[in-house]
Amino acid sequence: MWIPVFILALLCVSEAVAGDSCDRVIHLCQDEIPWTRCYERNISTCRPHTRLISSSFIWRRVNSSQEAEVSPTPQHRVHIPSSALQKSRGSGSEDEVLLVSTVLNSSYFQLSSHQENRKGRLRMPPRRDGSVMGGLVLVVRAGSQPVAHLSQPVRLTFTHEGQVRNGTCVFWYELGDGTGYWSPEGCESNNTGTEFVCSCNHLSFFAVLVNPELSVDKRSATYLAYITYVGSALSVVFTSISLIIYICLQRRRPEKAIGVHMQLTGALLCLHLSFLLSCFWVWRLEDKEEDWVCQGLGLFLHWSLLATLTWTALEGFHLYLLLIRVFNIYVRRYLLKLSLLGWGLPSLTAVVCGILGIYGKFKLELKDENNQTSTTHMCWISSRFEQQLVVSYVTTVAVPCVVIMCNSCMLGLVVFKLWGLRRSEEGRWMKVNKGRSSRLWKDCATVLGLTWVLGLPWGLLSATYISLPGIYVFTILNSLQGVFMFLWSVALSCKARSDDSCSSRDPSSQKMITTSFNT
């Protein structure tokens, strides 16, 4: 009796394997070059089971004498005219052709570093750069023959619900080494407000490219540039003054907290100075090729950014020791070890990147509402470097996110400690005294100052992807970070003077004052 059951189970397993085979084609073809041809060939022969195939994979036979329309996802629709279906069957006499449509993650498509037109090579279609809308690529395959140069175009619809204003319909052009790029050749783009309608004269891998900087027009870009230059220049001046203040404080009263603040201020000074120098030098180059000076300034700017982020993280670590491990926090050569980490890790990273040759002229293109392009340059990670986006996102997005999350927890801990301290004081006195409002203002000033010391304004980076006002707020606050650090150093200097006068009148309070000053 178990034999029929075994046969039934075997049939179910075989159906499951067949049903999953089309979903596994993308993984089976990743090792082949070019993988797109392998994928197109295998999705036409995988023959999935209708009950087991995913809903985003359309695999059906249609009548070649009629128009066909499929929708692999609610955001993607494909309309194919009958002339395209008849051309896809070639010289075959069958009335039905196989139509396959699905969506793939854009991470499977590896962009080439640059487009080359070698002698003797066929003409290559133009290239278009940008981000794939939604991160999804629409795949359309019909029949057994290539479909191109159609008199009646294929209509592809990408729904975006007003999330972007401008976009370009493109297809994937693969090179011989497995990489490729997006090209708009053969496709026309039309934005209806909620949908991008692409009319293409061929079948391939299609997507819509969008650019997050499209909402910044030339006027706003000019204003933001002036704000950045003026803010960075002010930060250079005020961080230099802050360094002098910290050096005087360190000589008068050596404290670990002052030493950490001094190192962070020095990193900020290098950051704003290197930014101004890189912008000035690339403006001097104009349209000339990058030189070794621009590469060196790009390395200096990258190193300064990494050093600033590292010392910001060390500020949070030092605050953790003061608040959590109040006792037994003596560390042998504490500042020396922090300095080795704060300056050594960025130096090692910058040297490795310099050996790889990633620094040079960085080009940023902005488009306004009239689709006019404006280009700005700076000495940074070269746009010619193949992994430029990866290195840039790691150092300007991933690392700041980790630092901000950790330091936000530290700031929340400070607020909790201050709140508990004030509650205990009110419980002891059992009445509202005259100094309560002044203490509240001092606590707010302390929290606000620590916000800048811990680098939390870097968290406004996420606002730059939302709206133009968010870009202005992020630019103003972070370009003036050196000014706010100067105000923090002045506050510490005034606090140190008041502590000295209090300690001279009441020596028993010296220990409490020192702990407060460190915090």
Report the mean per-residue pLDDT for the chain: 77
* pLDDT above 80: residue 181: yes
Percent of the chain with pLDDT over 70: 74
Architecture of the structural domain at 215-518: Up-down Bundle (1.20)
Q: Which residue has the higher pLDDT, 398 or 16?
A: 398
Higher pLDDT, residue 165 or 340: 340
When pLDDT is averaged across residues 56-79 and rounded to a whole number, the result is 86
For residue range 110-127, what is the model confidence (pLDDT) as tens digits?
A: 887 655 444 444 567 888
User: Which element (helix H / strand E) includes 379?
Assistant: strand 373-381
Helix (H, G, I), strand (E, B) or coil at 32: coil
Cβ neighbours around 158 below 10 Å, total: 23
CB 204 within 8 A of CB 171: yes
CATH architecture of 20-111+125-210: Sandwich (2.60)
Mean pLDDT, residues 178-197: 85
pLDDT at 118: 44
Lowest mean pLDDT among 77-81, 207-211, 267-271: 207-211
pLDDT band at 358 (very low <50, low <70, confident <90, very high): confident
Which 3 state secondary structure label does DSSP give 99? Answer: strand
Report yes or no: 188 and 154 within 8 Å, Cβ to Cβ. Answer: no
Residues 6+ apart with CB under 8 A from 165: 191, 214, 215, 369
Q: How far apart are CA 407 and CA 323, in angstroms?
A: 13
**Beta carbons within 8 Å of 351's beta carbon, 6+ residues apart:** none
Instruction: Give the residue, 57 or 7, on which the prediction is more confident.
Output: 57
Average pLDDT over residues 198-202: 90
With CA atoms as reference, report the closest residue to 410 among 461, 442, 453: 453
d(CA 380, CA 357): 11
Give the pLDDT confidence score for residue 3 in this predicted structure. 36
Residue 12 has pLDDT above 70, yes or no: no
Confidence (pLDDT) at 212: 44
The count of C-alpha atoms lying within 13 angstroms of the C-alpha of 420, restricted to the half-sphere facing its C-beta, is 7
Range among 13-27, 44-58, 70-84, 108-122 with highest mean pLDDT value: 70-84
pLDDT score of 513: 31
Q: For residues 298 and 282, what is the distance between their CA atoms, to the nearest angstrom?
A: 10
Q: Answer with the residue of higher pLDDT: 483 or 213.
A: 483
- Give pLDDT tens digits for 94-104: 778 888 888 88
pLDDT reported for residue 257:
87
Mean pLDDT over 15-40 rounds to 68
> With 70 as the cut, is the pLDDT of residue 495 above it?
yes
Tell whether the model's pLDDT for residue 290 goes beyond 90.
no
Q: Give the model's pLDDT for residue 516.
A: 35
pLDDT score of 342 = 95
Task: Give the mean model confidence (pLDDT) for residues 326-349.
Answer: 85
The larger pLDDT score, comparing residue 105 to residue 430, is at 105
- Domain boundaries along the sequence of the chain: 20-111+125-210, 215-518
Which is nearest to 138 in space by CA: 117, 159, 118, 122?
159
pLDDT the model gives residue 214: 40
pLDDT > 90 fraction of the chain, expressed in percent and rounded: 22
Note whether 20-111+125-210 and 215-518 share their fold: no
Per-residue tokens: 417 = 């400690």
Tens digit of pLDDT for each residue in 233-245? 999 999 999 999 9
DSSP state of 125: P
